[in-house]
Structures are given as C-alpha cells and as structure tokens.
Chains A and B, each alone.
Chain A
C-alpha cells in the first residue's frame, strides 16, 4: 500500500505546530508528504520556499513551486513518483536480500533490469493507493481554487484508470465551519469521480494558515480511518509482498 498526502498551499504557515515536525511524524507512520507551492506570478518568497522544501524532506516526498496552470500535471507527477518511490523501496529490500549491498538499478545488467522494471510497473499499476489532498483555503488562494479543482478532477481520472484500487480524500485548511478546526474534510475516502464536482463552492476563504496542525489532523485520519474493511487492506499489503518476492525468481 502507498499512502501519501499532497499539500497544496500558496504561502507560509503562521499558527501552531511547525509543519516540518508534522511531516516528519507522517513519515514515521509510513505516509509520504509531497508539497506544492502555487504562485500566480512572481516568486514564492524565500521563507515559504524553505518551508515547503523542509516539509517535503522531512516527509520523504517532493516539493515543487508551480504556476496555477501547471498544477494538474504536477499533482499527477508527484503522485506517480511517490508510488514509484515506495515500490522501489520494496524492490530494493528484495534486491538486497538477493544480491547483497548493490541496490541500484544501474548496477544490474540491462537484461535483468528489463525484468525488474516489468515488476515495478506491475506493482505501480496494481498497488493499493491512498491519497489525501490537503488544500490551503486561506483568502489568498481564492484566485487559484479553480486550478486546484481541475487538478483534483484530473488526478481522480488518472487514478480511476488504474487496475489497482485507488482512494482519494480531500481536506481544506483552516476549517470553515468551526473556527477551532485546523482542517475540515470535504470528501471521505472515495473512488468516485462524480462526487468531486463542485466540491469547493462551500469553502469560505479565511486568513490563517495552520499548515502544521492541519497536517497532523490528516495523519490521524489516515492512520485511524480506513474506507473499506481492514481485511481488504491487509490483503492488499500481503499481495504487495508476494509480488515483491516474485523478484527473487528473476535475479538469480
């Protein structure tokens, strides 16, 4: 199973827990944190850039600053890279078992590489994938929210086409109904594309940016709340290990 959070924001956090700490905590729970900084024009600012880089580093993911127009492709690229990254970890462990300390693909003969990549692609297509999009809904995000909506639709569309199961959930921060909520859920684990339509119309944009506390809330949600029954999830995980073990047949 691959679990990831994609944070979409346009600035620095300004309340509560340091988001870098929260991201490190996610990593501990086997959740990868990717961060996208969105700008309309000009640059992102030094402090903001540092923060998203640090968050991604602590969360084992990627960070990228993009213009609203490129948002869809960036969200997709990151999702895919996260999946591949996780698979490579599984594969690498498997490789280490068999050929010792050499773990990199380029150490393998092209013919062996061919088989490893076939297996990687198989896993990439079939692994259970859980993505939470955590969207900054502070006032300055207003002009970019259409691009966010497009990006979410687009991601759903790509995930739906996978052979394996994908689940997406959506949060925005800060909460709009309850002032004390750092983040609020807009969509519970879902595989449905249709539900996503006009999701954001109800968000009223507010000032504060509690990125850290929002992240924490999402981590808690991911750890404790599973959409389908636990059994299915565990079955999926077992499956991944089985597939990983397939490698040993190839690399002898």
Chain B
C-alpha cells in the first residue's frame, strides 16, 4: 500500500568495483548503472563471463519481499527461462547492503520502443503485455505496478515486465503502485489485487502510449473513469481499441484471458483500416538492409 517515493541515496558504484557476497561468496564486478527507482539502484554486472542485472535495495524488508516473489515465480519457469540467480549482502563503509542478481533484459521501455520503431507496433506490444500478465495471473499473482518504465520491449516487440516490487498475491492489498496507473486514484475501484486491477493499469498504459492521456496536466477534478474514456475517444490511435478500453477501465472483463481475446479480435478485426494514413518507416531501412545482405552474400560467394 505504498505509492512510489523518490530515494535520496546518491552513492553510485563505479565501473570495475568488485563485490563479493557475504554468504554465498560469489564475485561480481560492476559495469555500469542501468537505472534507479524508488526502491534502489540496478547495475549491469559481470559474473562468470556473463552479464546480469544487480538490484541493490534501500530497504531490506522491501527487497526481501521482492526476492521472495521472484523466487516463487522462478520455480514455475522452464530451466532456460529462469530470471533469479542469487541474493546476498555486501559491506561498504561499515554499512550492509542487500542485493539480488537477475537476468539482464536488453531493450527499450515501451514508450521509447514505439518512438523509435513506430506506432504500428502498438497493437503487438499491447498483446504481448497482456500475454505476460496472463502468465503471471495464472500463478495467482497480480503485477500491481504496471507502467511504461516497467515494460521492456526487445526485438520484434518481445515484452518482459521488470520490477517485481508491486507483485502481490491475489486477494491482498496491492503492495506498490504508481498513482496515475492506479484504479483507486481514478475513483474507479479498490486497491485489492485482482486481475482487473492490472487490466485497468494496462488501459492507462495504452492511453499514455498513444498520447491520449498526458501525465503533465492532471488535476483532481478530472479524476474519473468517464474522463479517461473521453480522452480515449478523441484519440485516433485508440479508436479501434475503444470497446476494449471501455471494459478495461470499467472493470467488466471477467478475466485477463477474456481481455486478451478481445484485444486480439480488435487487433486483427480490420487490418486495412486507416491503411493510407499508416506510414511504414521500417520499410525503407528493411529494404536497404536486405539489399545489403544480398550484396554481401554475392560478394562472399565470389571469394570462396
């Protein structure tokens, strides 16, 4: 039941800094800072000639709680899909820091991905987010703190959710959330962890990704589900998804599976809609690179 709160700890570990875990005695070497949030800092580290992400927490209990969730999820993943590697402590200047090691996810956050690859990826990225949510929900967890920064999109629109700080067992109170994505903030429902909670946040995420809702000019008078729907209806990118967004915002999907099916239906429903207005910026580079590949192949086949 916390909202995000900015940290004030400013120590940044430098490149080459070596850490040995106090309990498990594994050796890590810092490469660089990947990012920072309210609950700690995340570094890229080397371990056994591989790169991983290391999260160093500010609060021991919150970090451990996150570790507990990740370990529970990890148990249900295929051996090659494991996300959790290790958790331990280290000492620096007389202070103990707790950390855990997880898989490093390469990619861009959802907004950056769409900005650099084009808005036409929106529907696929959305579907992939829903797939990830459905998997988590099947394990009886709710993601909780779904937001743009926690959605990493890699090649071909592959989606990984990061930051398990908000992940809550179904039926409990949402552990951590960000106001603008929160159903309670919009006076459109409770803060109990149910599937519809994540689907609501997903709808807000869609509104922000398409530019229908902007974070900067929010005032409390505007706080209502009908305001959100009005915003969606005036945005050209949202148009096709209105039936989905309406249900997601009002919490009328009976499950994430239903939500996903509706999304898919609308996504494929009319592929040619607005076709003249869709730009295809990827076509040019894609064409150029295939010509390049062709030339190179021809060139090499001549040499050998």
The finding on whether chains A and B are genuine partners in a shared complex, rather than unrelated, reads yes
Q: Which residues of A contact B (CB under 8 A)?
A: 72-73, 76-77, 79-80, 84, 105-106, 109-110, 113-114, 117-118, 120-121, 125, 146, 150, 154, 157-163
Considering the chains assembled together, what is the distance between the CA atoms of A1 and B294 in angstroms? 72
B262 at the interface (CB under 8 A from A): no
- Determine, out of B75-83, B106-114, B170-178, the stretch whose residues face the partner at the interface: B170-178
Give the residues in chain A near B278, CB-CB below 8 Å: none
Beta-carbon contact of A117 and B61 below 8 Å: yes
Beta-carbon contact of A73 and B4 below 8 Å: yes
- Residue of B64, B68, B88, B190 near A161 (CB, 8 A) is B190
**Known contacts A110-B87, A117-B65, A162-B1; 11 further A-B pairs (Cβ under 8 A):** A73-B4, A76-B1, A77-B2, A105-B61, A110-B23, A113-B64, A117-B61, A120-B61, A121-B65, A150-B220, A157-B184
- Residue of A73, A110, A154, A161 near B173 (CB, 8 A) is A161
A249 to chain B, nearest CB (A): 17
Considering the chains assembled together, what is the distance between the CA atoms of A114 and B174 in angstroms? 20
B302 at the interface (CB under 8 A from A): no
Considering the chains assembled together, what is the distance between the CA atoms of A153 and B192 in angstroms? 15
Considering the chains assembled together, what is the distance between the CA atoms of A114 and B61 in angstroms? 9
Give the residues in chain B near A160, CB-CB below 8 Å: 190-191
Beta-carbon contact of A117 and B64 below 8 Å: yes
B221 to chain A, nearest CB (A): 10
Secondary structure of the B contact surface, majority rule: mixed
Q: Which residues of B contact A (CB under 8 A)?
A: 1-5, 23-24, 60-61, 64-65, 67-68, 71, 87-89, 96, 98, 171-174, 179, 184-185, 190-193, 220
Give the residues in chain B near A80, CB-CB below 8 Å: 1-2
Beta-carbon contact of B64 and A114 below 8 Å: yes
A90 to chain B, nearest CB (A): 14
The answer to whether A157 and B190 touch (CB under 8 A), given A109-B23, A114-B71, is yes
Give the residues in chain B near A77, CB-CB below 8 Å: 2-3, 5
Beta-carbon contact of A73 and B5 below 8 Å: yes
B144 to chain A, nearest CB (A): 11
Considering the chains assembled together, what is the distance between the CA atoms of A146 and B89 in angstroms? 44
Q: Can you name 26 A-B pairs with beta carbons within 8 Å?
A: A72-B179, A73-B2, A73-B3, A77-B3, A77-B5, A105-B60, A105-B64, A106-B60, A106-B89, A106-B96, A110-B23, A110-B88, A117-B64, A117-B68, A118-B68, A121-B65, A157-B184, A157-B190, A157-B191, A158-B173, A158-B191, A159-B1, A160-B191, A161-B1, A161-B172, A163-B173
Give the residues in chain A near B96, CB-CB below 8 Å: 106
B171 to chain A, nearest CB (A): 7
Beta-carbon contact of B67 and A114 below 8 Å: yes
Considering the chains assembled together, what is the distance between the CA atoms of A106 and B185 in angstroms? 36
User: Nearest CB to that of A122 among chain B residues?
Assistant: B172
Beta-carbon contact of A161 and B192 below 8 Å: yes
Give the residues in chain A near B1, CB-CB below 8 Å: 76, 79-80, 158-159, 161-162
The answer to whether A163 and B64 touch (CB under 8 A), given A80-B1, A110-B23, A158-B184, is no
Give the residues in chain A near B71, CB-CB below 8 Å: 114
B176 to chain A, nearest CB (A): 10
Give the residues in chain B near A159, CB-CB below 8 Å: 1
Considering the chains assembled together, what is the distance between the CA atoms of A113 and B63 in angstroms? 11
Closest 6 CB pairs of A and B: A161-B173, A161-B191, A73-B3, A158-B1, A117-B64, A157-B184
Give the residues in chain B near A113, CB-CB below 8 Å: 64
Considering the chains assembled together, what is the distance between the CA atoms of A120 and B174 in angstroms? 16
User: Nearest CB to that of A156 among chain B residues?
Assistant: B184
Interface centre among B5, B172, B174 (most CB of A within 10 A): B172
Give the residues in chain A near B67, CB-CB below 8 Å: 110, 114
User: Nearest CB to that of A146 among chain B residues?
Assistant: B220
Beta-carbon contact of A106 and B172 below 8 Å: no
Beta-carbon contact of B60 and A163 below 8 Å: no
Give the residues in chain A near B24, CB-CB below 8 Å: 110
Beta-carbon contact of B60 and A162 below 8 Å: no
Interface centre among A77, A125, A157, A159 (most CB of B within 10 A): A157
Give the residues in chain B near A72, CB-CB below 8 Å: 3, 179
User: Nearest CB to that of B66 among chain A residues?
Assistant: A117
User: Nearest CB to that of A120 among chain B residues?
Assistant: B61
